Amino acid sequence: WLKFCVSSISRLVHPMEAANQYLGEFKALFKRPRLFANQILNVGCIIFSALMLWKGLMVTSGSESPVVVVLSGSMEPGLQRGDLLFLNLFDRDPFIPGDVIVFQIKGRDIPIVHRVLNVHESSPGDFRMLTKGDNNQVDDRGLYNDRQLFIGRQEIMGRAQAFAPYFGMVTIWLNDYPWLKFLMIGSLVFFSMIGRE
């Protein structure tokens, strides 16, 4: 039993030693301005690389938001809360009933992921659609703005092409627990700053 207690205590000491080592490296970074500037540039490169990747996805998909997370259970059982959707928005492909689309109603912050029920096209490129969540009892007219019966091209963010199950749960956790967002970003910056090449 004593041997077990000693080994448990020694395992607790190691994380403290690692934390002290990381803190020491971070303090030493401020004593070397050239290395500090280099690490700041590295963090900037990481941020700008992520932005360039996002912009590249926007260009190739034709959508202003090429990746979205399903935030509710309104599309169950087909799409679960936390699924990651990959969108595109090409005008050459007409919308048909059964398509899963993402749209955003003017004046609302959160986009909606629902299925197209029917499409009314008055002329090429000019259409109106009615949508509904697979798990909802009624269509989405109650979600649209007052006296709006259909949505048009201006509300549509994209059409779902593929999905990754539960890959978006991190986004949901970050929205539900804002302190987790600051912890994650702070950790990424911290470890990028003390990182060795």
120: annotated active-site residue: no
Q: Could you say which of 61, 63, 83, 140 is catalytic?
A: 140
- Residue 178 CB-density burial (10 A; 0-12 exposed, 13-18 middle, 19+ buried): exposed
140: annotated active-site residue: yes
Packed helices 33-61 and 178-194: angle between N→C axes, nearest 10 degrees: 120
H, E, C per residue of 169-182: HHHHHHHHCHHHHH
Cβ neighbours of 62 (radius 10 Å): 16
Q: How far is CA 113 from the centre of its chain?
A: 14
Q: Could you say which of 114, 139, 176, 192 is catalytic?
A: 114
Q: Could you say which of 74, 83, 122, 146 is catalytic?
A: 74
Residues with catalytic roles: 74, 114, 140
